[in-house]
Amino acid sequence: MSTPIPSSPLIRIADMTWYEFADRVKGDPIVLLPTGSVEQHGPHLPLVTDVILPVTVAEAVAAEMGGMVAPAVSYGYKSQPKSGGGNHFPGTLSLDAGVFIALARNIINELVRHGARKIVLFDGHMENQWFLVEAADLALRDQAMLGRTDVKIIKLGYWDFINKTTEAVLFPDGFPSWELEHAAVMETSIMLHVRPDLVRQDKIPDDPAADFPPYDVYPFDTRPIPPTGVLSSAKSASAEKGAAVLAQVVPDIAASLRAAFGPSSD
């Protein structure tokens, strides 16, 4: 059985004492803030899949480059029908945009107040993306008003680092789209690799891909959404595919962050 990637106590900020945090932040480490959601992920994956996955990848990246991982923002912006099935599914607990922006902005400002200058908004929920941009923009404005101009923020979605080679491993019969991959092959495979105890393997769905019109109507027409909430088949998921994703994206993300923040990041 696969097990989660081990994590040093000096990687997770939540596991540190304030003495340890104060000592670590003096070294100007990269601080990764995972953001996710509590969102339906079909009959086979837990509601916090979008928290487990970015935390897992962020901790592995931090271990590789001497970074720290802040406690995750576990609630995210509203699930959208075309990328998450929709906010109407029971158990999907979402934040309004203004609340999410304010929360992320506040956490960024607090990290900076305590010495962090290199911050990564490490997202696991596609719907958060533009609101993280706003939070970063407002936090940088706040810091500039305080005379701090040395803060740098990077926003990323870990799935964007999956290269064509790994994509071919995941989808040998063709790639649907990241939007339709909700609770499907990629997320199910990584969960099978890192948290197989939370995957209801006998309930992995084989739904045909959802077919949405190229426009949105509000209230949204839920008829094109498969009743399971899974937007394309997850049948071909495997722990081996999940391992392949992590083996490729973790070093690639670490290398990209080193390049973006400069040679003193380790």
- The catalytic residues are 39, 41, 50, 125, 127, 182, 187
DSSP 8-class letter at 6: P
Q: Output the CA angle 202-182-96, nearest 5 degrees.
A: 125
Instruction: For residue 152, give the 3-state DSSP assignment.
Output: strand
Amino acid found at 30: I
Strand order in the sheet with 30-35: 68-69, 30-35, 118-123, 152-157
Q: Crossing angle for the helix pair 239-261 and 49-65, nearest 10 degrees?
A: 50
Query: Chain-centre distance of CA 85, in angstroms?
Result: 17
Per-residue DSSP letters for 193-220? Answer: HH-GGG--GGG---PPPP---SS--SS-
Cα gap 232→198, rounded to integer Å: 20
How many of the other CB atoms lie within 10 Å of CB of 239? 18
Cα gap 180→210, rounded to integer Å: 7
- What are the beta bridge partners of residue 86? none
Instruction: For residue 168, give the 3-state DSSP assignment.
Output: helix
